Structures are given as C-alpha cells and as structure tokens.
Structure 1
Amino acid sequence: MMKTVGSVLDANRGVGPGFGLLRLILAVSVIFVHCSLVDGGANAEAWWPYGARWGLANMAVPAFFVLSGFLVAGSMARSRVDTFLVNRVLRLVPALAVLVVVTALVVGPLVTSLSPAAYFGDRGFLTFFFNVLGRHQDTLPGVFEQNPEHIVNGSLWTLSHEMSCYILLCLLTGAGVFRRRALVLAFALGLYAAANIIWLADRAGIALPHHELLTYVFVTRGAAKLVPLFLVGVLAWQYRASIPLHWLPAVLSGAGLVAVAMAGDQSWAEMPPVWVLTAPMFAYVAIYLGLANWFVIPLLVGVDYSYGVYLYGFTVQQTLLHLMPGIGNYWLFFAISIVPTVILAMLSWHFVEKPALGLRHALQDRVVRLVDGIAALLPERLSARLSRAEAR
C-alpha cells in the first residue's frame, strides 16, 4: 500500500520530522541570496552558475508560505479560532518585537550618520516600531546611508503577508469555508485565475475596468503571489489522505523547479503562469522533505532557529557592510554573515521565542474564558453562531 501525506503525518503524530531542518535551510538560503548586498546586486549574477540567481532568490519565500499553510492548517483544525490566534501571535510577535527594539535602539544609534538628537527626533525612528504590528518600514533615519542599499531589514516585508494569511484562514474558518476543502480549492484557483486573466489582458493590450487597481491587487502586490501559495499549503493538508508520498514525484518536482530556473530569468518571477506551474512543485518538494525521516539533524530536534535567522540575517549583513565597506567577495561575505546571525538566532530561540511559546496554554485559557464570557452576554442566536465558529 502506497504511503500518503496523511498516513506519514499521522505516523509522526502530526509533526513531520524534517520540517525544522527545511525551515532552517530556507532561512539560510535567504541570507545567501542577500549576499548580493555587497555591491547592491550589480554583479550578483557573476557569482551564480548559468545565471540562475533569480531561481534560488525566488524559491525560499514561496516554500516558506507553502510550508506555513500546510502546518497551520493542521493547527487550525485542532484549535479554536481564538486559541489559534494566540499561538500565532506568540510565535511571531515577541521575537519580532525584540528585533525591532534592538535595531532601533542599539544598531541604529551606533551606525546612523545623524546626531542622537536628530536620530531620535526623526519621525522615521518612531514609525519603525510599527514593524511589530506588521506595518513594514525598512529604513531608519541616517542608517546604512553609505551602504550600496540603505534598507535596514529587507526580510520583514513578508511578515505582514504572513499575518494576513493567518487572518484570512481565521475568516475562512469562521465562515465555514475551511471545513469544505472544495471551497478552499475554488478560492485558490480563483485567485490564480484572476492573476492570469489580468496579466494576459495587459500583455494583449486590453484595458479592463479598474485595470491598474486589479493589476496591483492580483498581480504585482506581494500578497497576490504569496496568499495563493499559502492556500496551496492549506489544500495539501486538507487533501493529505489522497496525495501519495513518493520520492519520484519529489525528484520530478525538484527537477521542474530547476528547469524553470535554468530556462527563465528574473522577469519570470513576475509571471502568473509561472506561479501556477511552480506552486504544486514547491508544495510537493517541501512536504516530502518535511515528512522524510532521513531529513533530520539530531542536534536540531526540539529547537527552531529558522525564524531568528530570517529576522536577523539582513540587518547583520548590512552592519557588516557598514563596518567593512570594502568587502566584495560573495562567498566570504556569506561565511562571515552566517556566524553572528546564527548566534543571534540561538539567543532569540532560547531567551525569547521558546519562553514566549511556554506562555501559550495560560494565555489560551484566559482568551477562551474571555471569549466565552462575551458570548454568554450576546443574544442567544449570535452566541450560538460564535460558539460554532470557535469550534471549527
């Protein structure tokens, strides 16, 4: 009998053994891609075989979102909406808040070209803290002005979309859509269809009503590319009992991704047809590796440094460029970037992320009592509807 994604997931009690290592590799690959900061990306292609930089540069984030959809779908199925949100907030926000505070209050004052009064008095200093709430701002006043790129942390832009995906999943659950996988499939296909129709219309010179707005929402905006990938991960979990798990389709999917990278260029990453082609490949490779018993490093079992690596990598690299402006070797820059980044990620996990996750049961109980108390004060029909939504 052939194994399925569902049967292997059940055998591992809902936790794939390889997901931790896969997330860490993806986070490290983001640092590798961002080594192009050494010259603002001007000569980045020279460090890559066959001009395939765009391929790897556009693989990590889609894989992250597919993984996120797959993993949090299982979490949502086992939780109420309110406790699900508690878990997500505790996983994302504490470490992000520490990063933002350290960046604004420690890194910024040390490297800014402005005086302390000018730096702390600038409106950009205060608005930088809105990153904690998912409102992306990637600059601080006078910071990294001598670097080829002036961005403080170019990795944070995805977090607002990640938060949006969680909110979307809660809305789908509250509306009863999450329990009906055919509706989730139709929703995901609808997003992909809209992106392709609008893109093709633009290529054909056809101006649709509100064309610019539609293009922004469904084609060019980051969420337009990432939310459907998240839903593909959700669908992979929902159809897990029907998806066979075998090395051959995993190899073929990986080969397909490599072929797309070899055949295309950066412009391909902006093409909705390519999104549709590569989304199932990303999903299958990521899930296969995540469920593989051999894809494990024993020393990393029980820890997750990937989020910290993702959070701190870009700012570490920018700080190193500020301190060593003459460095120009891509591989050397990667080697000296990874060490401090991993150290900060380890500190983040052991002193921020893990302790924060340890609070979830206490906070869940409080939130459940609060929501149930509010529900008890509502009219009976509305209270029953809220209770049913929370139970999904």
Structure 2
Amino acid sequence: MTTDASDAHEAALDSARSWLLVALGVSMLTTIWGVIFTFTVYVGQLSTAFGLTDLQASSVFSITTAVFLISGGVFGVVAARFPLRSVVAVAGVGLAVAAAGLGAVDSYVGVVAAFALLGTAGGTAFIVVVSLVPQWFDAHEGTAMGITMAGNGLGVLTIPFAWLWLFERVDFRTAFAVVAGAAAVVVLLSSLVFRRPPGHSESTGTVGLDWLRGRLTDRDFVGAALGYGLLWGWYYVLSSQLVDILTTNGIDAAVAAGAFGLVGGVSIFARVGGGFVGDRLGPRTVFAACVALAAACVLVLPAVGSRPALYAVLVGFGIGNGTLAALWSPIVLTRFGADNATATVGLLNTSTAGAAFLSPLAISALRGVTGGYSVPLTILAIVTVVGVGLFYWGTAPESEQGVLERAFSIASD
C-alpha cells in the first residue's frame, strides 16, 4: 500500500496535471492582482462613485491589502488542516459576493466591507496557489514557480487597460463587477481541480503554539520579518497613489494610468532574471541591491516630469518588485529551514500587513501636511532602506551574525 502511494506520488510530479495547476495559478494571480493591486488606476472612479475623501480612499486600499496579507498568512500557518478544494471554492464565493456587494452599498462603511471581503478571499486564494504548486513538481519546481508568480506581473500589466476600456463604456460599479467577477469565476473553476498530489502527507503536528512561540522569540526571524514589512511599503504606495503622484508632476493622466502596468511588465522579466543572477552572485546581495534601487526611484519620483525619466524610474521599480518576489522566499527558507515551509512563509507574510495598511495612509496624511509628495516619499525611501537592512541582517547565516552586529554597532556610534 505504501509502495503504491509512493509510486502514485512520483507519477503525479511534473505531470500534465501539474502544469494545469500552473496555468490555473497564473490565471488566478493575474485576475486577483489585477483587481486589488491596480487600485491606483480606479481610485478616482471609486472616490467619485461613493463620494470618498482622499484619506478615505487610501484607507480602503490599506484595509484591503492588510486583510489580504493577514488572511493569507493565517491560512499559511494552518493550511494543511483544511481541504484545498473547499477552501478555494469558498474564496471564489467570497470574490463573487464582493463583486456583487459593491453594487448594493452606498456608504464608506459598505465600501470598506466589500473590499475587506475582496482582500480576505483574494489572500486566501493566493496562499493556496503559492503553497500548492511546488508540491506538484520535482525536476521543474523552479520553472513552475517562476511561471506561476509571473501572474502577479501580468495582472498589473494587463488589467489597467481593461479598467480603462470599461470606464469608457460603463460606470464604476459595473466595471468592478466585471473585473472582480472574472476573478471569482477563475477561482471557482480552479477549485474543481485543486488538490494535493497523491500520497502527499503534511507534517503539521509540529506547527502549534510552541512552534509559533519559537519563531516570535527568534531575534533573527523577528528582525527579518520587521524588515520585510518595511521594505514592501513603497509597493503599496505605488499601487494606490502612483497615478495621482504622476499627474501632480504634470504627466498625462492616460500615460499615468498605464505606468503601473509597465512596472508589472518589467517585473515579469525581473523575476526570472533576478533568480538567475541571485544564483550566481548570492540571493541576499542581489535582493538588497534591487530593493535599494527601488528606494532610489522612490526618492526621485516627485521630480519626474517627462516620459524618458518616467520610464527609467518605472523600470527601476519593476526590477525591484520582480527581484523581491523571486528571492524573498528562497532566502527565508534557506536561513530558517524548509520544515513547515508554508507556515514560515505565511507567518512572515503577515508582517507586510502593517506596511500595507499604514504606508498609503501615512503618505496621504503627510502630503496633506506638507502640501506635496517630496517629503513623504523621501521618508518612504529611508524606511525602505532601513527595511532591507533589517531583512539582510535577519537572514544572514549564523556565521555572519557577529560581523554584521559589529558593523551596525560601529555605524550607530
């Protein structure tokens, strides 16, 4: 019996069904990222439709991304305790209810409720995809994950054009129902075939309060988690406010609306290229360099007023985003071990919830106080550099910890 199960498991790996799950994963991530993380494209339409202030609109995105990350992170810790098909189906229903629900509400509270449900359902579907696909591969695991994660970039590359096309023809509520409804359909169809490979067993007995306490009292893990949350803040600000930043700089609104799509397009290639270069130069070094590049782009963003400068900055953001997505998980699992990998990745992922919630709100509030984006984005760039420094320190091999601590001590003195 054991031999039969083992044979079935080996036969399932790298099979046609494995690649079907990759295709469905790409479709799920494309539509989910497209409806949530292109917020900057439709925030103006949302604000007009529901009479929201700038701060209220920013809070909608902050709440959505926060629950997206928290729900995904929590599910990552307890993923093996649930049958995947039913979880994916429930996530699809949640997306459908959010798509329809926005058409039935007429207040800020109602908008927040609809988007919170959207984030919860989307985050749950996301963590299922990124934790399930590797289980179905052996020889082609890296390639499969690279292709699957390209769905994030495809979402922000293609869906903005769908928003713009719809806005020329229908009102915002209808457009949202179409895009979010498409995501719901994809997730519901995926639920029909999503399951773990035959003979796969989850060793979740060690994932309990003791395991969680051990992670949360591990200084290196806490440092890496705090840094990881801080270094993502720039991405959430761009997701919610890039169009406003660029139009404030005098960039044409149509060009600004497509700008975030270019970031996604570049990030697709950066996911593959970042992994390739990271294998040769060291993933932590490449990771830190590319996030520092993104921080530099944040710093100069308020001064961007021409298309050539804009495109150069967007390429920098795409490289930073793609490299982030490609390298963070291998870095974390190399440092903290692959045992209970889904739980470790899920727990770390929750650290970004604070950045997702606070960054757009803080930038909006600081802009109101200072009257522009220069000061807020300068602070954001500094926070990003601090974040990558903490992440780099927290994920350093134990043999390097003493050297880094002495270096930080000298720098602080």
> Would you tell me which structure has more helix in proportion to its own residues?
2
- Give the number of the structure with larger relative contact order, counting CA–CA contacts within 8 Å between residues 6 or more apart: 1
Could you tell me the TM-score, scaled by structure 2's length? 0.32
Could you tell me the TM-score, scaled by structure 1's length? 0.33
